Structure 1
Amino acid sequence: MKKIGVIITCLCFSSTVFSQLKSPKQEQKFTTTNKKITVYTTAEKSNLKLTATDNLVFSASKQPLETETSIFVEPSKKFQNFIGIGGAITDASAEVFAKLSKEKQTEFLNAYYDKQKGIGYSLLRTTIQSSDFSSESYSYIKEGDKDLKTFSIDHDRQFRIPLIKQAIQTAGGKLTTYVAPWSPNAFMKSNNDVLRGGTLLPEYYQTWANFYTKFIKAYEKEGIPIWGTSTQNEPMAVQTWESCIYTAEAERDFIKNYLGPTLKKENLGNKKIIIWDHNRDLMNQRANVIYSDPEAAKYIWGMGFHWYETWSGGLPMFHNVRKVHEAYPDKGLLFTEGCVERFDDTKYQFWPNAERYGTAMINDFNNGTNGWTDWNILLDQKGGPNHVGNFCFAPIHADTATGELIYTPSYYYIGHFSKFIRLNAVRISSAVSRSSLLSTSFLNADGTIATIVMNQTDNEISYNLIIASQKTQVKIPAHAIQTLVY
């Protein structure tokens, strides 16, 4: 979830990488001549799971009719670079993984990180200290150690670091890894508690900035390169678990005066800083406040966001992602967390959970997002472990009583993107003539195109895939997702 080094170099300081791309060299024009289309399908009420279901060819296309459903792809119209798809290796995921047999561990690693045997994850998120998806709250320092003299990541060496290393190895030796803190230590906070919100006390701004550098250097010493860090996971949510509140102004000033300069001073200035790392609802205000300050903005790669704004009873705010991208096209966008909440073991195969992933991924990519990261890669048969009872779904669960792995439909829906959109890809123009289908398309560096098509209706749909004067005709089952590779 691989030429990561090349991607990182390209993303560092280019002001055009995340706007419409135009290469200075002459690019070879995409042609449908002699192109074969392989169709991969996952569908409800069937055995189709990332299954190759058709091999098609292009033929001449006339003006499509209003009575037809068509997808129009224009490869010459290029947009944002793609930096990967992946999930989070939390303490919970690592603890459950350690309980699996060696055979099941290998199966699990291949399922996520092997390009051929699995779905080819290329992104990895992990936590700085504990989160709710840890068996307990813990810290890398002794409480009250403002000089960080007791700093140690020994806690992570038992479960988390070994799993991260195996994931990197299975992925071919490289994964774009980024990190996020859930809370500073209690003594650094206004509420003297790592849980239930509170704010970082001004006298500990420098101590906390130093903490990031300690963590990054410690992980890199372990052989885990760190691509970047967010400032704070969910900085506007007072949670029953590890949490800390930053207003937009507080996050801006912490980055401008402490985190950015400290990373630079410690020779970590190449690490990407991700702001917000919270829901789509307030992301525009956060972007406006922070990006309007050039002294803060110069340190920032872009914005991370989650999908939980639906807690209020409303619909996903996909359009806010587009509005941030339109306003600040030189900044990156990264989906940093999403999961299906409220675990229920009778709903392992509940299809709308998978369709939630497909809908979000297509919309987020079409609105300018560069990469997409799921939450826990693995949880147990209770939706944990979680030290505050906030149990959730993962794409794969392990029944620790039987030792079996349980693959949910969400795993396959994510795979329709992660397996076929490769690093160095660029999103291209893709539009649908009817709302019964959703679609997005990416042009890979090898010249192939991956077009993802999703059908949320109760009916099979026939549609045209049209590129210039060429087309092919495809059928997609009810409640299905397809990837067309050509």
Structure 2
Amino acid sequence: MDAKLIQTIKGTNDRLAEKGMLPFKEKGTKEGPALKITPGERYQTVMGFGGAFTEAAAYTLSQISKEKRMEIIESYFHPVHGLAYSLGRTHIHSCDFSLGNYTYVEDDEELRTFSIERDHQYVIPFIKDAVKTRKENLTILSSPWSPPAWMKTNNEMNNGGKLLPEYQSAWALYYSKYIKAMEEAGIPIWGVTVQNEPDATQIWDSCRYTAEEERDFVRDYLGPTLEKEGLDHKKIVIWDHNRDIAYERAKTVLSDPEAAKYIWGTGIHWYVSEEFENLTKIHNDFPDKHIMFTEGCIEGGVQLGAWHTGERYGRNIIGDLNNWLEGWIDWNLVLNEQGGPNHVGNYCDAPIIVDTKKEQVHYNSSYYYIGHFSKYIKPNAVRIKHEIEHPALQVVAFQNEDDSIVVVVMNEMDEAAQTNLVLEDQACHVDFPSHSISTVVI
């Protein structure tokens, strides 16, 4: 038995670098700290990894040559040469990473003017090229940031506000029309979230719901409307916000059986907190429901060459996966040199940054850190038990459908670490340099 070692190491040129094969030998008695893998103890099945097809990302790609654009798409979606992304996220009309506020209707309470024509300019071609590169459809989750201004208490898409009670039925129908319009355009939608970040008043597109309001909207409007429109097979994801109060929010909604029957699971963002244990609390109380990471990014603009950004990705992915997460979706797939475009100046970083003026493509550390998971942990892989004796190392382990075992190990420390990877009665020695991430494929 042999294992392939792949590493990304700070201060070197190693980026998803194949470091050769590691031989397994009969396990001795004095081998130092052990990392023991137990395939017989199994947990959740994963859907895969992916990122968001924002208008900002799609527009950025339109500003460079076709060759560079396709290079980036292949870097994410090619099943062998890229990160093998299988998931995606779209925004239902505008979000902050759009070129401006927009909706799919005019002031039309019956939604007769509904049209996704705007998305045909940048977003839909981006998704279609990703699918063509992957040679298989993506699992796409779609989220609204705000209802149209005239449906809201503050009469604007930005700065929070709430959905007016008299428009709950029309707003629920809006999701249905979006799903059908996208599918007519050749893009299947797997599911929707109820509201992006419902507990935040943002200066961009936003709308607030209490847990009780979200529960009631799903139970009385969104669930029944999707059912009536023949879309009851589409998934509904609640919360779509931070981990800190995810358990309390999920408990309020999922404890109502009439609401819960429509709900696939809970969506998580990483801002504010790394309380990964809150995911396990949700799983323990509602084991028939699912948990998905729906958004995370590095805030505050572009940080080219930073290493801590990749480590934040690695730490969060490992922490969530070890607490029953099933799917992981990054925020913007690509942004420009400013960390936009963003119509309110809420600039962020992305794993790939394009300098549209110089036509240069920059791959951040986060791109490679994500790849240590997404390239090797395939859709339908099952998390398996690991036990680690080394306090500095962060670990997660999976078994793919082809029975290959994937162990991802991150060392955030300034010192190198070593362990013996133990599987059944055999072991192999592995070195983990400081500030590195490693994938071992057995």
Q: Which TM-score band applies after superposition, normalised by the shorter structure?
A: over 0.9
Who is 2:40 aligned against? 76
Post-superposition Cα deviations, 1:217-238, rounded to whole Å, max 9, x if no partner, equal: 0000011000000000000000
Match 2:211 to one of 248, 252, 264? 248
Q: Is the 8 A contact 1:309 1:317 kept in 2?
A: no
Is residue 2:226 matched to residue 1:263?
A: yes
Who is 1:52 aligned against? 18
Who is 1:114 aligned against? 78
Q: Matches of 1:366 and 1:64 in 2, distance apart?
A: 29
Three-state SS of the structure 2 residue aligned to 1:300 is: coil
Equivalent residue letter for 1:339: C
Is residue 2:284 matched to residue 1:320?
A: no
Post-superposition Cα deviations, 1:243-291, rounded to whole Å, max 9, x if no partner, equal: 0001000000000011001101111000000000000011111111111
Equivalent residue letter for 2:288: D
Equivalent residue letter for 2:101: S
Q: Is the 8 A contact 2:416 2:433 kept in 1?
A: yes
Equivalent residue letter for 1:220: E
Is residue 2:392 matched to residue 1:429?
A: no
Q: Displacement, 1:53?
A: 0.7
Q: Matches of 2:276 and 2:218 in 1, distance apart?
A: 27
Three-state SS of the structure 2 residue aligned to 1:184 is: coil
Q: Is the 8 A contact 1:62 1:469 kept in 2?
A: no
Q: Matches of 1:78 and 1:265 in 2, distance apart?
A: 38
Write out aligned runs for 1:157-176 (5 A).
157-176=120-139
Post-superposition Cα deviations, 1:20-75, rounded to whole Å, max 9, x if no partner, equal: xxxxxxxxxxxxxxx2200000000001000101301211113466xx33211100
Match 1:368 to one of 324, 340, 347? 324
Range that drifts further, 74-83 or 323-332: 323-332
Q: Displacement, 1:139?
A: 0.7
Who is 1:411 aligned against? 367
Q: Matches of 1:111 and 1:172 in 2, distance apart?
A: 14
Is residue 2:314 matched to residue 1:348?
A: no
Who is 1:179 aligned against? 142
Post-superposition Cα deviations, 1:69-104, rounded to whole Å, max 9, x if no partner, equal: 321110011110110100001000000011121111
Write out aligned runs for 1:127-206 (5 A).
127-143=91-107, 145-206=108-169
Three-state SS of the structure 1 residue aligned to 2:380 is: coil
Q: Displacement, 1:111?
A: 0.3
Who is 1:283 aligned against? 246
Q: Matches of 1:172 and 1:49 in 2, distance apart?
A: 25
Who is 1:12 aligned against? none
Q: Displacement, 1:452?
A: 0.2
Q: TM-score, normalised by structure 1?
A: 0.90
Range that drifts further, 404-413 or 164-173: 164-173
Q: Displacement, 1:468?
A: 2.2
Who is 1:440 aligned against? 396
Match 2:9 to one of 18, 43, 47? 43
Q: Matches of 1:183 and 1:289 in 2, distance apart?
A: 22
Three-state SS of the structure 1 residue aligned to 2:266 is: strand
Q: Matches of 2:439 and 2:322 in 1, distance apart?
A: 16
Three-state SS of the structure 2 residue aligned to 1:119 is: coil
Three-state SS of the structure 2 residue aligned to 1:308 is: coil
Post-superposition Cα deviations, 1:103-160, rounded to whole Å, max 9, x if no partner, equal: 11121111000011111001000100000001110110003x1100110001111100
Equivalent residue letter for 1:325: H
Q: Is the 8 A contact 1:439 1:451 kept in 2?
A: yes
Equivalent residue letter for 1:183: S
Q: Displacement, 1:477?
A: 1.1
How many residue pairs were aligned? 442
Q: 5+ unaligned residues in a row in structure 1: which ranges?
A: 1-34, 311-315
Q: Is the 8 A contact 1:64 1:70 kept in 2?
A: no
Q: Is the 8 A contact 2:337 2:355 kept in 1?
A: yes
Is residue 2:90 matched to residue 1:90?
A: no
Is residue 2:439 matched to residue 1:483?
A: yes
Q: Is the 8 A contact 1:431 1:440 kept in 2?
A: no
Q: Matches of 1:445 and 1:77 in 2, distance apart?
A: 15
Equivalent residue letter for 1:232: Q
Q: Is the 8 A contact 2:390 2:419 kept in 1?
A: no
Provide the aligned C-alpha RMSD in A. 0.9
Three-state SS of the structure 1 residue aligned to 2:272 is: helix
Q: Matches of 1:286 and 1:476 in 2, distance apart?
A: 39
Post-superposition Cα deviations, 1:390-412, rounded to whole Å, max 9, x if no partner, equal: 00000001000011111001000
Equivalent residue letter for 2:209: Y
Q: Matches of 1:64 and 1:156 in 2, distance apart?
A: 61
Q: Matches of 1:130 and 1:195 in 2, distance apart?
A: 10
Equivalent residue letter for 1:414: I
Who is 1:220 aligned against? 183
List, as ranges, runs of 4+ consecutive aligned residues in structure 1 with deviation greater than 4 Å. Answer: none
Who is 2:420 aligned against? 464
Q: Matches of 2:112 and 2:167 in 1, distance apart?
A: 15
Q: TM-score, normalised by structure 2?
A: 0.99
Three-state SS of the structure 1 residue aligned to 2:264 is: strand
Q: Matches of 1:323 and 1:222 in 2, distance apart?
A: 39
Three-state SS of the structure 2 residue aligned to 1:165 is: helix
Match 1:232 to one of 188, 195, 199? 195
Paired-residue identity, %: 47
Range that drifts further, 165-174 or 217-226: 165-174
Q: Displacement, 1:325?
A: 1.4
Post-superposition Cα deviations, 1:431-473, rounded to whole Å, max 9, x if no partner, equal: 2112210000110001101100000111221111111221100
Q: Matches of 2:275 and 2:379 in 1, distance apart?
A: 27
Q: Matches of 2:30 and 2:137 in 1, distance apart?
A: 44
Q: Matches of 1:242 and 1:391 in 2, distance apart?
A: 15
Three-state SS of the structure 2 residue aligned to 1:411 is: helix
Q: Matches of 2:330 and 2:431 in 1, distance apart?
A: 29
Q: Matches of 1:161 and 1:442 in 2, distance apart?
A: 33
Q: Matches of 1:267 and 1:322 in 2, distance apart?
A: 33
Match 1:295 to one of 255, 258, 261? 258
Post-superposition Cα deviations, 1:295-315, rounded to whole Å, max 9, x if no partner, equal: 0000000000100124xxxxx
Q: 5+ unaligned residues in a row in structure 2: which ranges?
A: none
Three-state SS of the structure 2 residue aligned to 1:125 is: strand
Match 1:381 to one of 321, 330, 337? 337
